């Protein structure tokens, strides 16, 4: 029987996991997105590649690498790894505000998908009613685009305004803190449609300039990034409990406070450096 862990990614710097698609709009390099929702993701192959590169660089860890990640090649010794990687889904996105530096924006759909993944992959007995019922208390319209949960009146987030405050129940605040590693007061809950539009149109875009060997500018281009303090989550599994203690050691090293993993491109200019946390439901 497979076992799974739920892991949170917090970006320490801007992250660009490129879609690799040709684009003829204003933005040249787009981030990866879920094709159905258009919400940013990091594909599972990118998660696996980044973790593979990180652990390869650890002294005395090479013997375990093949067992974890598999062995490539055409000969009879090639075999698949025993780790199972799922894509990383965006959980919260920091958005500028006129009343505080930023709010961590999310939406009912995003939170419910997150809760559903917790129950499906991590703990079948996990009680989803608390958060789901809390989410269902919110109603949205053209005037109520988002809810906040602090005492700041009439905040403006990006180009959106709202004066609606959500209930601050102690049990909900405690659960949100445990699941998202965020205080409820720092969260803005957006209408699903508007959050989708934000993910499509308001992801930060940075101008880059390619410099040739002669020191001259060759190409000015623009690329999207997930900004620092974005949060994503992904599922990591182990096939049929084959790895045993090696899996436990792998997770422990991954979430160690000294571990910083780089995801996506542009390593040399500091993009994609992230901390990883394991979600404990009990």
Structure tokens at 196: 């989708």
Phi, psi for 79 (deg, rounded to 5):
-160, 155
Are 230 and 15 in contact by the 8 Å Cβ rule? The answer is yes
Cα–Cα distances (Å) from 141 to 144, 147, 189, 190, 221, in that order, read 5, 11, 13, 11, 37
The helix/strand/coil state of 269 is: helix
Residue 60 pLDDT more than 80? no
Give the model's confidence band at 82: pLDDT under 50 very low, under 70 low, under 90 confident, else very high: confident
One domain, residues 79 and 98: no
Cα–Cα distances (Å) from 267 to 16, 90, 196, 264, 273, in that order, read 10, 21, 28, 8, 8
Cα-to-chain-centroid distance, residue 189 = 17
Q: Among 168, 202, 236, where does a domain finish? A: 202
Give domain status of residue 281, yes or no: yes
Q: Which domain holds residue 71?
A: 1-17+44-86+226-282
Encode pLDDT of 177-221 as tens digits. Answer: 999 999 999 999 999 999 999 999 889 998 887 766 666 666 778
One domain, residues 76 and 52: yes
Encode pLDDT of 230-264 as tens digits. Answer: 999 999 999 888 888 889 999 999 999 999 999 99
Residue 276 pLDDT more than 60? yes
Q: How many CA atoms lie within 13 A of 89 on its CB side?
A: 24
The helix/strand/coil state of 79 is: strand
Give domain status of residue 245, yes or no: yes
Structure tokens at 159: 């180009």
| Distance of alpha carbon 189 from alpha carbon 67, whole angstroms | 42
Give domain status of residue 182, yes or no: yes
Residue 167 pLDDT more than 80? no
Task: Please count the structural domains in the chain.
Answer: 2
Encode pLDDT of 5-25 as tens digits. Answer: 999 999 999 999 987 665 555
One domain, residues 109 and 81: no
Give domain status of residue 35, yes or no: no
Give domain status of residue 211, yes or no: no
Give domain status of residue 210, yes or no: no
The CA R_g of the chain, rounded to the nearest whole Å, is 20
Indicate which CATH number applies to the domain containing 276: 2.40.30
| Distance of alpha carbon 195 from alpha carbon 197, whole angstroms | 5
Mean pLDDT of 270-281: 92
Give the model's pLDDT for residue 67. Answer: 81
Give the model's pLDDT for residue 24. Answer: 55
Give domain status of residue 113, yes or no: yes
CA-based nearest residue to 49, from 270, 264, 272: 264
DSSP 227: P
């Amino acid at each position: 029987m497979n076992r799974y862990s739920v892991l949170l990614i917090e970006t320490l710097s801007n992250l660009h996991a490129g879609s690799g698609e040709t684009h003829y709009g204003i933005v040249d390099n787009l981030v990866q997105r879920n094709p159905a929702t258009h919400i940013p993701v990091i594909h599972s192959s990118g998660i696996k590649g980044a973790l593979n590169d990180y652990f390869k660089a650890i002294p005395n860890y090479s013997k375990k690498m093949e067992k974890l990640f598999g062995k490539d090649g055409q000969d009879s010794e090639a075999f698949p790894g025993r780790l199972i990687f799922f894509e990383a889904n965006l959980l919260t996105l920091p958005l500028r505000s006129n009343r505080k530096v930023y709010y961590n924006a999310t939406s009912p759909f995003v939170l419910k998908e997150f809760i559903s993944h917790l129950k499906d992959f991590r703990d079948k007995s996990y009680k989803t009613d608390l958060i789901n019922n809390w989410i269902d208390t919110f109603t949205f319209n053209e005037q109520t685009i988002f809810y906040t949960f602090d005492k700041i009146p009439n905040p403006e987030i990006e180009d959106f305004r709202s004066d609606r405050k959500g209930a601050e129940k102690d049990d909900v605040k405690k659960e949100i803190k445990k699941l998202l590693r965020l205080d409820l007061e720092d969260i803005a809950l957006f209408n699903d449609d508007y959050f989708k539009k934000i993910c499509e149109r308001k992801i930060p875009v940075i101008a880059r300039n390619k410099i040739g060997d002669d020191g001259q500018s060759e190409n000015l281009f623009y690329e999207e990034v997930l900004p620092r303090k974005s949060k994503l989550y992904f599922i990591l599994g182990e096939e049929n409990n084959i790895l045993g203690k090696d899996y436990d050691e792998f997770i422990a090293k991954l979430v160690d406070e000294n571990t910083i993993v780089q995801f996506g491109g542009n390593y040399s200019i500091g993009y994609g450096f992230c901390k990883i946390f394991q979600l404990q439901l009990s």
